[in-house]
A and B are shown apart, each in its own frame.
Chain A
Amino acid sequence: MESNWAAEHLQVIRTLMERSAVYRRALAPIMIFNGALGTAAAALGRAQRIDSPRAFILFWSLVSVVALAGSFFLVRRQALKESEPLWSPPTRRITQAFLPPLVAGLIISAVVLANVDAAPEKIRNAMGLLWLPLSWVVLYGCAFHAAGFFMPRGMKIFGWAFILGGCGLFAVGIPDFVHRPGDYAYGIMGFFFGLLHLAYGVYLYFTEKRRDGT
């Protein structure tokens, strides 16, 4: 029947339009890179006892700059290999989706950094070593969830894992068995920005469509 045929045609058109708006860079190398970096940074920070809230914030700010630069390099390399523009419309959309939560995280970090030394020690530790890392986790999850609308894989679920995990740990606070708040903070960062990325990267590595040059 003609109407069925027309409806099917429209559905095919809709699917293709959605597909063309989706970000298609291989995400496994980016996830594995960031996971390895997050795990190594957490181990290094803990081993070096970078425990003061100020040093902790500055240390992770530096790690995030390295992570951003590395991710940019990997995306650029893929684009060059496939003779595609780096700043493609899907890349623009992903960047726009990521930006608000990441800018919020940056502003909150700057505010905490500016005020943390003036606060009493207990508040200082809670601000810099619990609330701030968990804010990063939750905001990062929001960023991935927003970007997930333009990505082909389970990025939204990945985002939700950060949001729910971060909020859950906010509710729990620093458990009594933790003697050094710094260890707990590095544990949070290592788990969310290290191990979770590594696990998802390995999953993507085995499931992502393997294309030439990626």
Chain B
Amino acid sequence: MNPEPFLQLDRVIHEKGRLAIMSMLAATPELSFTEMRDALDMTDGNLTTHIRTLQESGYISITKSFQNNRPLTTCSLTASGKKAFTNYINLLEQIIQQNKPK
């Protein structure tokens, strides 16, 4: 068996919480902080930490604005994030393919 695909998996995305965030953002142009927090059942602190890690890796961008005098934080995948996520999915598929009985 070729261990290459497994070794190539992006460690930033591979973490459970960050993978969940990336998966949700991959399906929609943008999501607010509260939408992600409620959907993933994460604490504010936990979500903030993961978002910061993804932002530092250049995978997501954050927009802070105000809506009716209340702060609104929205996240979206960057082009680099989309590419990294697609690559991650492809590697998972490769792992499945190479383990299929012939």
Interface residues of B (CB under 8 A from A): 1, 6, 19-20, 23-32, 34-35, 38-40, 67-68, 70-72, 74, 89, 92-93, 95-96, 98-100
Tell me which residues across on chain A come within 8 A of B72, comparing CB atoms: 83-85
Q: How far is the CB of A96 from chain B (nearest CB, A)?
A: 14
Query: Do residues B28 and A19 form an inter-chain contact, with CB atoms below 8 A?
Result: no
A111 within 8 A of B: no
How many Å lie between the Cα of A90 and that of B35 in the bound state?
A: 11
Of A1, A82, A90, the residue contacting B34 (CB under 8 A) is A82
Query: Do residues A3 and B39 form an inter-chain contact, with CB atoms below 8 A?
Result: no
Tell me which residues across on chain A come within 8 A of B98, comparing CB atoms: 3
Q: How far is the CB of B18 from chain A (nearest CB, A)?
A: 12
A69 within 8 A of B: no
Query: Provided the pairs A80-B67, A83-B32, A83-B70 are in contact, do residues A3 and B24 lie with their beta carbons within 8 angstroms?
Result: no
A-B Cβ contacts below 8 A, count: 80
A110 within 8 A of B: no
Tell me which residues across on chain A come within 8 A of B38, comparing CB atoms: 24, 211
Q: Count contacts on A: residues with CB < 8 A to the other chain.
A: 25
Query: Do residues B28 and A12 form an inter-chain contact, with CB atoms below 8 A?
Result: no
Q: How far is the CB of A134 from chain B (nearest CB, A)?
A: 37
Query: Do residues A20 and B24 form an inter-chain contact, with CB atoms below 8 A?
Result: yes
- CB-CB contacts below 8 Å: A72-99 with B: 80, 82-85, 88-90
Tell me which residues across on chain B come within 8 A of A10, comparing CB atoms: 89, 92-93, 96
Of A19, A80, A83, A88, the residue contacting B39 (CB under 8 A) is A19
Query: Do residues A20 and B39 form an inter-chain contact, with CB atoms below 8 A?
Result: yes
Interface residues of A (CB under 8 A from B): 1-3, 6-7, 9-10, 12-13, 16-21, 24, 80, 82-85, 88-90, 211
Query: Do residues B25 and A20 form an inter-chain contact, with CB atoms below 8 A?
Result: yes
Tell me which residues across on chain A come within 8 A of B40, comparing CB atoms: 16
Tell me which residues across on chain A come within 8 A of B34, comparing CB atoms: 82-84
Which residue of B is nearest A93, CB measured? B28
Query: Do residues B32 and A6 form an inter-chain contact, with CB atoms below 8 A?
Result: no
How many Å lie between the Cα of A47 and that of B32 in the bound state?
A: 47
Q: Return 9 A-B CB contacts under 8 Å, by A number.
A: A7-B96, A9-B92, A10-B92, A10-B93, A16-B40, A20-B25, A20-B39, A21-B27, A24-B39
Q: How far is the CB of A74 from chain B (nearest CB, A)?
A: 16
Kindly list 14 other residue pairs between chains A and B, CB separation below 8 angstroms, not including A83-B34, A88-B32. A2-B95, A6-B93, A6-B96, A9-B19, A16-B27, A17-B27, A20-B24, A20-B27, A21-B27, A24-B39, A83-B32, A83-B70, A84-B35, A85-B67
Q: How far is the CB of A117 from chain B (nearest CB, A)?
A: 47
How many Å lie between the Cα of A20 and that of B25 in the bound state?
A: 7
How many Å lie between the Cα of A1 and that of B95 in the bound state?
A: 10
